[in-house]
């Protein structure tokens, strides 16, 4: 009986350690999966944005045919952003370029009163504004999940489990230029 008590204590301690490790590991997996899911939400909104841009460019192009350089810049920025499947940092760089091009496109549209009254143009502007709002919410959700994951990777004791199972920190999805932090201005 004297030998049984220490074995029960050791068994209970081993079970406690195993349960703690499993709980910490499962928490890390859940947060990592939340990051993946929220990045997928961003990707969905970006694709929606990319699909709207050619229609918007074609609508404006019908009114402002001599502004070819602006159209080409927007389409090139859209194609670069669409093709980018890299890190959030590289994606943000391409998004900054695209947002700048869209600003130029909307500024160009200001010179054409008939265009500003065109129902197709107005609908595309509204869709783009809605997409920008959803994209902003998705960015905030993704960055919150990244913050949670990165915190768990740095705090004790989950940092030991994360290191052992090779969990990696994630990058935030941030825009570099302060002007690009604002959605494109839509004026009627």
| Digit-coded pLDDT (tens) for 41-95 | 998 998 998 998 888 888 887 777 667 778 888 888 888 888 888 888 888 888 8
Domain assignment present for 186: no
Domain that holds residue 36: 14-181
Domain assignment present for 1: no
Query: Can the peptide bond before residue 61 be classed as cis, meaning omega within 30 degrees of 0?
Result: no
Here the CATH number for the domain that contains residue 68 is 1.20.1440.20
Domain assignment present for 85: yes
Percentage, residues of the chain above pLDDT 70: 90
Residue the block writes with tokens 């065109």: 118
Domain assignment present for 70: yes
Band of residue 29 on the pLDDT scale cut at 50, 70, 90: very high
Domain assignment present for 68: yes
SS3 content of the chain, % helix, strand, coil (to 5): 80, 0, 20
Instruction: Give me the mean pLDDT over the 18-33 stretch.
Output: 95
pLDDT digits (tens, 9 = 90+) for 103-121: 888 887 777 777 777 788 8
Give the Cα separation of 88 and 101 in Å (integer).
Answer: 20
| Cα–Cα distances in angstroms (integers) from residue 70 to residues 35, 100, 103, 166, in the given order | 35, 11, 10, 46
How buried is 48 (Cβ within 10 angstroms: 0-12 exposed, 13-18 middle, 19+ buried)?
middle
How buried is 126 (Cβ within 10 angstroms: 0-12 exposed, 13-18 middle, 19+ buried)?
exposed
Domain assignment present for 187: no
Whether the pLDDT of residue 186 is over 60: the answer is: no
Domain assignment present for 120: yes
Q: How many domains are contained in the chain?
A: 1
Domain assignment present for 92: yes
């Amino acid at each position: 009986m004297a030998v049984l008590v220490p074995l029960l204590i050791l068994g209970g301690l081993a079970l406690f350690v195993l349960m703690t490790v499993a709980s910490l590991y499962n928490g890390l997996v859940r947060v990592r999966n939340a990051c993946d899911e929220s990045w997928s939400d961003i990707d969905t909104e970006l694709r929606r944005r990319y699909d709207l841009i050619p229609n918007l460019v074609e609508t404006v192009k019908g009114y402002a045919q001599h502004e070819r350089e602006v159209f080409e810049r927007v389409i090139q920025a859209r194609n670069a952003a669409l093709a980018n499947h890299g890190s959030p940092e590289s994606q943000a760089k391409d998004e900054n370029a695209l947002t700048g091009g869209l600003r130029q496109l909307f500024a160009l549209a200001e010179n054409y009163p008939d265009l500003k009254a065109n129902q197709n143009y107005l609908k595309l502007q509204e869709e783009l504004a809605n997409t920008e709002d959803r994209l902003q919410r998705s960015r905030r959700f993704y960055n919150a999940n990244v913050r949670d994951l990165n915190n768990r990777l740095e705090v004790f004791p989950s940092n030991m489990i994360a290191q052992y199972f090779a969990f990696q920190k994630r990058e935030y999805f941030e825009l570099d230029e302060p002007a690009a932090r604002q959605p494109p201005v839509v004026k009627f």
